[in-house]
Amino acid sequence: MICIIAANRAAAGCCDFVDVFLNLRTAQPSAGGPGEAAQARLLLSRLRVLSYGQQDIAPNPGDTAGSTEGSERNDARAADITGSSPGASDQTRQPARSAVLAVPVADANRLLLGAQQGKLFLALRNPADTGLPDLALFPQAPGVIDPLRGLDAEQQVALQRPENHAFAGIDGDALAGRGAAPTRVNPQAAPRAPAVRHGAPRASGIEIIRGDSSAPRGSL
């Protein structure tokens, strides 16, 4: 399910961008029985709007049975072409329930899985705001298909290509953040505790020191 929360302010074009937020509810076991955990987070950022609502969407072929004049009155695009007033077209315009976005191939899996398992919200983005989340700050979830072992350096770099990320896939646990790989810590960079030095045990009894020499009592 996709909810448009831009209040019909978005329009198809190269200057309109939206952020895709995900609301996800997943079953989570608890002490009192099976429970439900909810989360909301930014799924995809700054996607360009290609079509929104009735814009750039072909009419239903079943509606062409009516007269041409009636179809022009019901079609918002035809109303704009015939030069009708904006107020009349706004009265017949229904709330948009669909949107077509320009999605990178590496992010298509997350968008598809999020639409199936949760609810997507589209928020209108200021075109002047070019900020994007830094994915390098967060652990990356493993793919559904594991890569081959023994890959050389060139093949390791090829794994980072967007099309290879999309081919590896993503599952529901990774979408919910439960399948993220832990961040690797370099053991050499970890601080070490200072070593505690223990002195050699001294001989029992009284020690007599004369000048620069010392000897236990009874050995003189």
More confident residue, 117 or 207: 117
pTM of the model: 0.59
Are 109 and 19 within one domain? yes
- On whether residue 123 sits in a domain, the answer given is yes
Mean pLDDT over 140-153 rounds to 92
Domain final residue, candidates 95, 117, 146: 95
The helix (run of H) or strand (run of E) holding residue 120 is strand 118-125
Q: Are residues 86 and 125 in the same domain?
A: no
Q: What are phi and psi of 148, to 5 degrees?
A: -70, 155
What's the pLDDT band for 159 if we cut at 50, 70, 90?
very high
Q: What is the pLDDT of residue 46?
A: 95
Q: Which of 18-22, 165-169, 180-184 has the lowest mean pLDDT?
A: 180-184
40 in the same domain as 8: yes
pLDDT band at 21; cut points 50, 70, 90: very high
What is the DSSP-derived secondary structure letter of residue 192? P
Considering the domain architecture, whether residues 15 and 48 belong to the same structural domain is answered as: yes
DSSP structure class, residue 150: S
Do 49 and 101 belong to one domain?
Answer: yes
User: Both 43 and 122 in a single domain?
Assistant: yes
Q: Tell me, yes or no, whether 3 and 16 share the same domain.
A: yes
Identify which of 58-67, 71-80, 105-114, 207-216 has the greatest average pLDDT.
Answer: 105-114
Using the Cα atoms of residue 79, residue 81, residue 87 and residue 89 in order, give the sign of their dihedral: positive
Examine the domain organization and report whether 78 and 124 are in the same domain.
no
Are 22 and 110 within one domain?
A: yes
Closest-CA residue to 42 (of 63, 60, 23, 59)? 23
Give CA–CA dist 43/190, Å, rounded: 33
Q: Which of 47-56, 96-105, 163-172, 206-215 has the highest mean pLDDT?
A: 163-172
Residue 212 lies in a domain: no
Q: Which domain holds residue 22?
A: 1-29+36-53+96-129
Q: Is the pLDDT of residue 179 over 90?
A: no
Q: Number of folded domains in the chain?
A: 2
Asked if 70 and 117 sit in the same domain, the reply is: no
Bigger pLDDT: 129 vs 3:
129
One domain, residues 11 and 44: yes
Residue 120 pLDDT grade (very low, low, confident, very high; cuts 50, 70, 90): very high
Task: Choose from 80-89, 115-124, 170-179 the range with maximum mean pLDDT.
Answer: 115-124
Least Cα distance to 20 among 39, 46, 51 occurs for 46
Residue 140 lies in a domain: no
Is residue 45, in this structure, part of any structural domain at all?
yes
